[in-house]
Amino acid sequence: MTASEHPRMSDVARRAGVSLSTVSRALRGVPGVAPEVRHRVEQAAMELSYVISRGASSLVTGRTGRIAVIAPFLQPWFFGVAMAGIYSRLRSTGTDMVVYEVGDTTALSSYLRTLPLRRNVDAVIALSLRPADEELEHLRRLGVPVVFCSDEVDGFPSVFIDEAAAAADATRHLLNLGHTRVAYVQARDDTGFSWHSRQRVVGCRKATADAGLELVVVTAKTGIDGGALAAAELLSLSDPPTAIVTETDDLALGVLRTLERSRLAVPGVMSVVGFDDQETAALFDLTTVAQPVYDLGAQAAQLALDVLDGTGRTDTHLQLPTHLVVRGTTAGPRPTSSLAGPSAGESS
Amino acid sequence: MTASEHPRMSDVARRAGVSLSTVSRALRGVPGVAPEVRHRVEQAAMELSYVISRGASSLVTGRTGRIAVIAPFLQPWFFGVAMAGIYSRLRSTGTDMVVYEVGDTTALSSYLRTLPLRRNVDAVIALSLRPADEELEHLRRLGVPVVFCSDEVDGFPSVFIDEAAAAADATRHLLNLGHTRVAYVQARDDTGFSWHSRQRVVGCRKATADAGLELVVVTAKTGIDGGALAAAELLSLSDPPTAIVTETDDLALGVLRTLERSRLAVPGVMSVVGFDDQETAALFDLTTVAQPVYDLGAQAAQLALDVLDGTGRTDTHLQLPTHLVVRGTTAGPRPTSSLAGPSAGESS
DNA sequence: ATGAAAGCGCTAACAA
DNA sequence: TTGTTAGCGCTTTCAT
């Protein structure tokens, strides 16, 4: 893409028989250009297949027309969906989306430290990512436009769900069904426990506490395999639970796998609730908490856009609704709640 | 991120007591700077938290330090994994990744048409996307650096698998098991049939033809639901197949769902083979063709990088290996191959 | 409504 | 080895 081959604004100016600044004005659609002239300029630009060099204009305007999305991972379901949501809003304004993966804490902080200085983007959307407090303080002081998506952060525009309440809903569903021994599978990755993670246990614990019960918590690596291991751990307890809530659908799928391999009927012997409601949840007939991930992304993008055009305020906190989707993996506990009994193998 | 607040190169120059160009040279690490001076400059830059404005330098160098990834969708498994692969290579060179979703043909061609003119990126990686022939010709003439990932295109660097051979492998596996009525579920989205799609049927058809058999082909919308519908269609045939190959794992999952709801044993009554080997394939014990998606992305990124630094050639075609992963959804057909018993056609 | 001129922050000759 | 001088392609006062 050798720069020399592209027509420049002066080429358009010459062809339209006007000055450089007139072309600039005409093409940007600012008022103060005679309609006839504007048309001539557009014509010329079209004939030359002229497209403006954003780099050059951002050098003077200070705006890049780009927004960064930073995420701990690129691969998991959540991020793909959220990005699709973000992109949907961005595309309509012609804003480009540049993506960074900041898997571990050091990558994140090093990104954030150089952020205000690299004028590579106009704003940042942090996807399910919470920087350390001192980083946040630093960003706040600098007044850097960062929008948090799927996390609520003081002093920054944020879009999120009520994690604790959603998790509590799921737990209460189980409690109302009559379960008295409920376990929670918490995910931890290399970054430690995410914000989600911490909020969701709190919600579950509150729900069980309100019922005068205790919550059994085990931690697991993220993903299906992590869930499978966690379930094995729970099953080896001296007094196993009769219901399991997991932090994500992936974990629930793993739990289901272990259960099936152990020939423990679901929901006969064990009830399972996930979180996310991704496509596979329906496939497995998994009861789960649905969260509007696409919208989370779209709204975050909107907030970022608002901040950029001055419409936005840093204290916009947007909470999106979740709802429990009850499917076939939850039911009341068996009268005799021992895990001993024989049980039919369940579906594949 | 107001530009005025950032320290500029001249600030560093003043602080280090050297000239602008010395700072430029020192910071870029080009030879011809006294070690002592270089150190002083780096020191000054650090103290000021100076970070270079890429926009300004790309204005003069003509290089943006950015690569575009264009994909038809952002959400599906394949794209997340491929992007993670791309990113892994890009990050090490400090190249930014800007992502565009060009779902339909018009979005794609309008992107490609303005591409050479918008100097926003140094190169483009097209993910599982094949432009129309005239677009390709146009790009070839312009000499635009485009790398095709998961597709083989003449005159452009490409990274891909042997789609036809992989699909043929899957089919032969079934044939060797003794199946004589094999069906293929082909995916079609709004863009029509992708390149994959066309290649994979060819492979299946060749395999069956070589065995003197016919291949039953049905088309389906992409995704789990599409697969479920396709399976229903196949089950309602007067002479249903005993084995089904699908274009993707997602489709296979849908097929499995319909089969399960129809109470048709897998692989007892029906064998199923997917394509991709994503995480859920193992969960469902699905026999499938594994393709190295992450590597596909990483290699494509490498080719793009190579083209940029002059190392690359436009005729680099890289074929990556696939392999059939045999799991539990495939077995020989039953002796009496009629689909007796509870029969076809249930949906949701 | 239009044009001329002065940069935006950097790199790349060219001198020294 | 270092500094000086032009621009890169635009936007933006300030005149006209």
Nearest CB among B55, B74, B80 relative to A119 is that of: B55
Asked if A99 contacts B99 with a C-beta cutoff of 8 angstroms, the reply is yes
CB atoms within 10 A of CB B35: 8
Tell me how close the Cα of B88 comes to any Cα of chain A, in angstroms.
9
Return the higher-pLDDT residue of B161 and A104: B161
Q: Which amino acid is at B272?
A: V
Mean pLDDT of the region B92-116: 87
Least confident stretch, A137-141, B16-20, B172-176, B339-343 = B339-343
| Bond into B267 cis (ω within 30) | yes
Which nucleotide has the shortest C1'-to-CA distance from B53?
C9
Return the pLDDT at A343.
47
Least confident stretch, B59-73, B118-132, B245-259 = B118-132
- Nucleotides of strand C lying closer than 7 angstroms to a protein CB: 1-5, 7-13
* CA torsion, ordered B279, A169, B254, B108, to nearest 10 deg: -70
A192-236 tens-digit pLDDT = 778 888 999 999 999 999 999 999 999 999 999 999 999 999 999
Looking at the C1' of nucleotide C2, which residue has the nearest alpha carbon?
A22
- Find where tokens 């160098």 sit: B61
User: Where would I find the H helices in chain B?
Assistant: 9-16, 20-28, 35-47, 54-61, 77-93, 105-114, 133-142, 163-177, 195-210, 224-235, 249-261, 279-283, 293-308
Strands, sheet with A243-246, edge to edge from the N-terminal-most edge strand: A215-221, A182-188, A243-246, A271-276, A287-290, A323-325
Mean pLDDT of the region A317-328: 97
A163-292 and A9-61 share a CATH fold:
no
Asked if A275 contacts A249 with a C-beta cutoff of 8 angstroms, the reply is yes
State how far the Cα of B227 lies from the Cα of B243, in Å rounded to an integer.
14
Say whether A81 and B58 touch across the interface (CB within 8 A). no
Instruction: Delimit the domains of chain B by residue range.
Output: 9-61, 66-161+294-320, 163-292
pLDDT at B342 over 60: no
A interface mutation test: which of B4, B58, B60, B75 has the most A CBs within 10 A? Answer: B75
State how far the Cα of B13 lies from the Cα of B11, in Å rounded to an integer.
5
Is the backbone of residue A105 left (phi > 0), alpha (psi -120 to 50) or beta? alpha
CA of A63 to C1' of D14 (A): 24
Asked if B308 contacts B123 with a C-beta cutoff of 8 angstroms, the reply is yes
CATH classification of A66-161+294-320, choosing from 3.40.50.300, 3.40.50.2300, 3.40.50.11810, 3.40.50.720?
Answer: 3.40.50.2300
Say whether B59 and A62 touch across the interface (CB within 8 A). no
Tell me how close the Cα of B161 comes to any Cα of chain A, in angstroms.
21
- Find where tokens 């952060």 sit: A153
CA of A26 to C1' of C14 (A): 39
Return the pLDDT at B118.
59
Residue B4 pLDDT class (50, 70, 90 cuts): very low
Residue B116 pLDDT class (50, 70, 90 cuts): low
Fold of B163-292: Rossmann fold (3.40.50)
Residue A142 pLDDT class (50, 70, 90 cuts): confident
Say whether B55 and A120 touch across the interface (CB within 8 A). yes
Say whether A84 and B97 touch across the interface (CB within 8 A). no
Which nucleotide has the shortest C1'-to-CA distance from B13?
D3
Q: Is the CB of B20 under 7 A from strand D?
A: yes
Mean pLDDT of the region B231-244: 96
Residue B82 pLDDT class (50, 70, 90 cuts): very high
Tell me how close the Cα of B225 comes to any Cα of chain A, in angstroms.
10
Residue (of B345, B320, B317, B325) closest to B156 by Cα position: B317
CA of A22 to C1' of D15 (A): 15
CA of A88 to C1' of D4 (A): 49
Return the pLDDT at B144.
78
Looking at the C1' of nucleotide D8, which residue has the nearest alpha carbon?
B60
Say whether A283 and B79 touch across the interface (CB within 8 A). no
pLDDT at A286 over 90: yes
Asked if B231 contacts B259 with a C-beta cutoff of 8 angstroms, the reply is yes
Which nucleotide has the shortest C1'-to-CA distance from B62?
D8
pLDDT at A162 over 50: yes
pLDDT at B1 over 70: no
Return the pLDDT at A337.
46
pLDDT at B328 over 90: yes
Least confident stretch, A6-15, A89-98, B336-345 = B336-345
Q: Is the CB of B25 under 7 A from strand D?
A: yes
Neighbour-count burial of A107, counting CB atoms closer than 10 A to its CB (0-12 exposed, 13-18 middle, 19+ buried): middle
Closest residue in chain A to residue B308, using alpha carbons only: A1
Asked if A168 contacts A205 with a C-beta cutoff of 8 angstroms, the reply is no
State how far the Cα of A166 lies from the Cα of A174, in Å rounded to an integer.
13
B279-311 tens-digit pLDDT = 999 999 999 999 999 999 999 999 999 998 888
Buried b (16+ CB within 10 A) or exposed e, A60-71: eeebbbbbbbbb
What CATH architecture applies to the domain B9-61? Answer: Orthogonal Bundle (1.10)
pLDDT at B347 over 90: no
Asked if B301 contacts B145 with a C-beta cutoff of 8 angstroms, the reply is no
pLDDT at B74 over 50: yes
Token pair of A323 as six digits: 């709802």
Chains A, B: CB pairs < 8 Å: 152
- Nucleotides of strand D lying closer than 7 angstroms to a protein CB: 1-5, 7-13
Return the pLDDT at A308.
87
Say whether B2 and A62 touch across the interface (CB within 8 A). yes
Mean pLDDT of the region A301-305: 96
Return the pLDDT at A3.
35
| Bond into A267 cis (ω within 30) | yes
Q: What are phi and psi of A192, to 5 degrees?
A: 100, -150
DSSP run (H or E) holding A134: helix A133-142
Pairing of strands B182-188, B158-161: unpaired
- Find where tokens 């011809």 sit: B32
Nearest CB among B49, B119, B253 relative to A283 is that of: B253
